[in-house]
Structure 1
Amino acid sequence: MPGVGPVTAGAIAAFAPNLDVFDSGRNFAAWLGLVPRQRSTGGKARLGAVSKMGQTDIRRLLIVGAMSVIRWVVRKGGSTNRWLADLVARKPKMVAAVALANKMARMTWAMSVKQEDYRMA
């Protein structure tokens, strides 16, 4: 997967529990601390900043990998991934990196649970 190399994969294998323990990719991303903090009042949910709780080593490696993917997208002047290209155009690079790291964590969970390799879309 772009942005996830052998160091990140090894850290996930070493520091994370068996990924089958998590019910969904969102739960795994929340365990890492990559999901925005939710505050709600009157039934309206407001998403805040990403908390600093969770597994810091894996979270940091995923964000660094996401920044390398974003740096490559900016240098190349676009991406085949329309979601990422639009996100980089709209948001600051660090916000886009955390969103991409969240997506990478969810994809890592899905690949682990389904015992599949990464496929380009």
Structure 2
Amino acid sequence: MTPKRNSTGGTDRLDRITKQGDSDLRYWLDIGTRNVVRYPRARSWAGGGGIEALLERRRPMVVAVAVANKLARIIWAMMTTGEFYRPKLAA
């Protein structure tokens, strides 16, 4: 769920989302994050403060990909360390 990188002349640009990796996993992450971005009730359950802020600045599909990328990183970290998910506590 990461953008393809293009670099030339010292300029680093991020292109479209690549299709590398498991297509089924990418599909289910995409479906889940689209629903979280689309429905306010799901956003409140998923810690929607950051999602709300992103939706004010970006299109919903861009936000969905960003949330899917974050979720994929969390899942990968949990699988490699063997730890359970610990949400951040409000300060």
TM-score normalised by length of structure 1 = 0.62
Query: 2:57 is aligned with what amino acid?
Result: R
Alignment pair present for 1:36 and 2:3: yes
Q: Post-superposition shift, 1:44?
A: 1.4
In structure 2, C-alpha distance between the alignment counterparts of 1:71 and 1:120, rounded to whole Å = 22
Moved over 3 A (4+): 78-82
For residue 83 of structure 1, report the CA deviation from its aligned partner: 2.5
Determine the C-alpha separation between the residues in 2 that align with 1:103 and 1:35.
10
What whole-Å deviation, never above 9, does each CA across 1:40-95 have from its counterpart, x for those lacking one?
A: 111211011112333211001001111121123xx34x754433221122111111
State which of 46, 49, 56 in structure 2 corresponds to 1:89: 56
- Structure 1's unaligned 5+ residue stretches are 1-33
Kindly indicate whether structure 1 or structure 2 has the higher relative contact order, using CA contacts under 8 Å at least 6 residues apart.
1
The answer to whether residue 26 in structure 2 is matched with residue 46 in structure 1 is no
Identity of aligned residues (%): 40
Change (3 A) 1:53 1:114: closer
In structure 1, what is the Cα distance between the partners aligned to 2:37 and 2:18?
A: 22
Structure 2 gaps of 5+ residues are none
Q: CA RMSD in A?
A: 1.7
Q: 2:67 maps to what in 1?
A: 100
Q: Amino acid of the residue matched to residue 58 of structure 1?
A: L
User: How many pairs align?
Assistant: 85
